[in-house]
Amino acid sequence: MALLWGVFCIARICLAISSLDWYNKDSKNSKRGEDMEYSMIDSHAHYDDEQFEKDRDKLLTILPEVGIGLVVNVGASMESCKSTIALTKKYPHVYGALGVHPGSVEELNEDRFVWLSQAVRQEKIVAVGEIGLDYYYDEPDRQLQKDWFARQISLAADVGLPMIIHSREAAQDTYDIMRSLGCEDVGGVIHCFSYGVEMARKFLDMGFYLGLGGVVTFKNARTVKEVAAYAPMDRIVLETDCPYLSPVPYRGKRNSSLNLPYVAEAIAQIRDMDVEEVCRVTSENVRALYRLDS
């Protein structure tokens, strides 16, 4: 049943894409998703990325028609924060998060932080992020990453918004900083969760959601699959992190929210659930995480 629905869903998206023929001609005869029963939410995307330069508008416009009802575009640099605001103004189904990624914290200074502190108060900005620590590369300096991570956590607490955490090869420091600053009172999501079950338990105990994306479809991603099986269903959110991290069978290609059904299908298989149930519950989770109904 789960597999059938997954195939149906993917087939439907393929049909929508091909019938839209968005690169060439008018789509007025295309079959739209008017009876799409289940809507998915992409909790983490980067449509400001230059890889979407050529088809951003057509892609974003079609998403609700193929069952991707809502997208949260996540800022990662000063420039992408500005682009994110513009996207939220242009598209009713696009919400935004503003923050500076650990890899870009060298851009931050007091003036820019003041701008960010004001910008997050705008309508349709639903989170502070993505913020965190990334020790995969030696740069930027780790102390600088920690300092701006802490400042942006405090900002989230001040404005009462959940936070989107990026943490790579920095599990313990991420956890320690979050604990020391009382992040359990603010809440949020550990996006693209890549640690094991033990760390998952610690972040879940703090009340955080876990973001799962294309990696869960990779054959060799044993750790992430274990987490997908372990985490309570009401604490998982789906994400693409597009244009990065395309799921199988598009691994290595540009990702978009159109590939979200592959992530849902992988989680349904791992947990032996119906894929429509995965879509329904994770959409509710995203709404709760970003407080979209309040």
Q: Provide the minimum distance between the beta carbon of 240 and Ni ion in the complex, in angstroms, as a whole number.
A: 9
In the complex with Ni ion, the residue whose CB is nearer, 42 or 241, is 241
> Minimal CA–CA distance to 41: which of 208, 264, 205, 224?
264
Q: Provide the minimum distance between the beta carbon of 260 and Ni ion in the complex, in angstroms, as a whole number.
A: 15
> Minimal CA–CA distance to 178: which of 155, 150, 147, 211?
150
Q: Provide the minimum distance between the beta carbon of 98 and Ni ion in the complex, in angstroms, as a whole number.
A: 13
Q: Provide the minimum distance between the beta carbon of 278 and Ni ion in the complex, in angstroms, as a whole number.
A: 21
| 8 A C-beta contact, residue 70 and residue 95 | yes
Dihedral sign, CA of 91, 92, 98, 100?
Answer: negative
In the complex with Ni ion, the residue whose CB is nearer, 9 or 178, is 178
In the complex with Ni ion, the residue whose CB is nearer, 84 or 282, is 84
DSSP state of 63: G
In the complex with Ni ion, the residue whose CB is nearer, 6 or 247, is 247
HSE on the CB side for 197, CA within 13 Å? 10
CA distance 34 to 182: 44
CA distance 201 to 20: 44
Tell me which residue has its CB nearest to Ni ion.
Answer: 241
| 8 A C-beta contact, residue 259 and residue 225 | no
Residues near Ni ion (CB under 5 A) are 241
In the complex with Ni ion, the residue whose CB is nearer, 239 or 265, is 239
Q: Provide the minimum distance between the beta carbon of 165 and Ni ion in the complex, in angstroms, as a whole number.
A: 11
In the complex with Ni ion, the residue whose CB is nearer, 67 or 213, is 213
Q: Helical H runs in 21-137?
A: 56-62, 78-90, 110-119
Q: Provide the minimum distance between the beta carbon of 162 and Ni ion in the complex, in angstroms, as a whole number.
A: 15
Cα-based angle 42, 199, 258 (whole degrees, multiple of 5): 15
In the complex with Ni ion, the residue whose CB is nearer, 73 or 269, is 73
In the complex with Ni ion, the residue whose CB is nearer, 65 or 241, is 241
Q: Provide the minimum distance between the beta carbon of 24 and Ni ion in the complex, in angstroms, as a whole number.
A: 31
β-strand partners of 189:
164, 209
Q: Provide the minimum distance between the beta carbon of 211 and Ni ion in the complex, in angstroms, as a whole number.
A: 9
| 8 A C-beta contact, residue 93 and residue 64 | yes
Distance of CA 102 to the CA centre of its chain: 16
Helix axes 260-271, 2-20, angle to 10 degrees: 180
